[in-house]
Every structure is written in structure tokens, then in C-alpha cells.
Structure 1
Amino acid sequence: MAVIDGKTMKINIADIRQDYSKKELRKKDCQDHPTEQFNVWLQEAIDAEVVEPTAMTLATADKDGRPSSRTVLLKGVEDNRFIFYTNYKSRKGSQLVENPYASISFFWKELERQVNVEGTVTKVAESTSDEYFASRPYKSRVGAWASEQSKEISSKNVIKLRFVEYSMKHITNVPRPPHWGGYAIDPERVEFWQGRPSRLHDRIVYEKQENGLWAKKRVAP
């Protein structure tokens, strides 16, 4: 039994286990470049109708190295970089100013797979952010103006009123807010994890070398 917040759970969470056996991952079958391998796996996740195949856990850290994480959506793999969009003044945006490194993790349980990426982060070009912002639904564009992301508010009505305010201000054309845009993660280490029986999982790691080329190796589970 486990006790959480004074309540006893009927299931002992330490006993929850899942044996994996659907697929295997061989080093010789992996693409030479990690983003090529990622694109293969992402397409397989989409074809398998994985729920939210582009959902990824983004971990950042402040100047003191204190980490935080949240789930965001991957919006592209461009020039071998992983792209996502957010409010620059959000908690993660502030941390990326202090510490421009991040990691992202994808978990596709239907395929018993994980991908973990670590690298440096920079903002994408303003023209790229403009183009993506223009493609978003109208309400999402208004919401980017209405929400001062990560700031304390007295009630949800604050957001509702701000949404109405900016809806009236931008009835048809909604420009991209200067505080909102894209980030690109330039990978330095990428790991592909395939679940296997008896916890003998397959793990293939790509590491970027000083010459810009990628070294590929198998590591112990």
C-alpha cells in the first residue's frame, strides 16, 4: 500500500510493472543522423495513431541549475533542430535566458519507445515565428496576447476579460505579440529507447563530435 496526502491507495505503486516486447532496436538499422532516425520514429508513431505523437516533456533550468519541466508540442524539425513555440516571458522563457540549454523527451507508449534530446537553445528567426503564428487558429492568436503566461492572477476572469479586450482590438488581423515566438533546440545528444523484455531495453545514443559529425553507440539499459 502507498500513502499519498494521508490517503491509502489500494494498489502498491512500487509493484506496477510492464514488460515490453513489441519491437527491438539494432544499431545497424539506425539512420546515420539522429534527426533522420527521429523522423522515421515520429512517422511510425503517427501511423500507429499514438495519442499526441508530438507531445514532449521540455526540461529547463535556471541560473542555479534548478530544473523544471512541462509538456509542450513539437512544431517542426528544421535544419536538424527541434522547434517549439511559447511566450518568451514565461517561466521557461526566463530560464532559457539564464541558461540556454534544454532537454526534451517523447514517450510513445503504444510503441514502447522513448526519445530523449539534449542541446542548446536559441530563438528562431522572427520571420519564422511570424509565419507559424499566422497559421494558428484565431482564438489561439488572441490567447497569446491575453495570457501573461506564468504570472499570478487573481482569478480566471482576468484572462476572460483580457481575451475579450484583445478580441475587440484585433477583430480580424491578429499580429504576433513581440513576447511570443519560437525556440530551436540544436541537439548534442540524442537517445532512442526501445522497451524490451526483462528490462533489457535497447538504447542507442548519438553524440555530436567536435567536427560536427555524429557518433552512434549502444549503451546498457
Structure 2
Amino acid sequence: MRRPFDLSLYLVTDEDLAGPRGVAETVRAAIEGGVTLVQHRFKQGSTRDFVATASALVEILRPRGIPLIINDRVDVALAVDADGVHVGQSDMRAAKVRELIGPDRILGLSAAQFHELTPEELGPLDYLGVGPVFATATKPNAPDPIGFEHLGRIKAAAGLPVVAIGGLKPEHVEPTLAAGADGLAIVSAIMAAEDPAKAAREFADRIARYRAQ
């Protein structure tokens, strides 16, 4: 049985932006503000450190029913019994990832263009991460910004849940959801915030208000 997930407010970690507070404590605060899913993206350091932080996040998130997705590294996801894996266009093929992680874990893929939406790629997936909507400094070599209109077209063509990513701020909640996205993936606006709980709550409140209309 596939593990349940909610893309509404999807936090992507960044150890540099977390600073001295650290990733685990930043995530602990952010989920109090309403984060519904966490992707652990580890850009530098050893595999041992990656596993250690991921294990700490599992301990924080699992009792609260919030899934932990590991970026790129299938081995780390399996080692800590994470809830899923997210891969990019240059990473292992989605079909191979699905074979390795089994049928029950969550699998996401980054996409920005229609040619990336092949049946072979989409078939094993549970969701797409689409963007960057705006230019972002948190991911080197990111594709060009796609904007809300293209986001909506990708959502319509994919036939999968979609989380938008890339330079999104609280004021972008309404146009992102209006374009058809199922949620917003946030990095710097929460990870670098002085008060991550407050920052997450601003996103979560706007999402709730939009959906209540």
C-alpha cells in the first residue's frame, strides 16, 4: 500500500540556509507551522552525515505522520526507511528507482518541459516537482524559469499531482494553486527564515484560505 502524502506545503532542506540552527531543528520548527512533507536535499558532506541527518528527520517526522523524501540517493532512503525518493532528470531512471524502492514508497521526479513527460518516466511516479517557476539560487544549473502559465500546461499534460518549485514566496500561493499545482515546494523562504514556524504558517494559512473559497 502506497504511503500517503500531501504536497500542500513541501519543504526542501538546505544545510547552508539552515546555518547554525541546523537542518533538524529548522525542520522541527517548520512542521509546527504547517509543513506537510519534507524532502531532505544534502548537497555536501559524507554519506555518513547524510544518513545521520536523515535518521534524525525520520525520528521527528514519522510520529507526526509527515513523510520524508530523500533527494537522489536511493541507498540513503533505504538505509533510514524514508518514505520515498525524489530524482532529477540526470539521476537514475524513475523505473529503476521504483524497482529498488518497491511499490509502497513515494517517488517524485523533477520536470520542466513536455519532452520529459514520457509514459516510461511518468508510469512509476507518484508526483512531479515542476519548475523553477522563478529563478532560484538554491539549485545550481537549474532550468530557465517557466512561469505560471507553463506550470499549468505541465500539470494538465502530466495527469499526476504536481508540486511547484523555484523562488516561491507567500504571495505566490494563490497564482500557483490557480495554475493547477497541488502544492508549493519551498526552500529559502522557510529554511533561511529567522522564525521557520512563522514563515511556514504564512504559507499554510494562505493555502488554507485559498482552498476554502
TM-score (norm 1): 0.22
* Bigger Rg, which one: 1
TM-score (norm 2): 0.23
Q: Which has the higher strand share?
A: 1
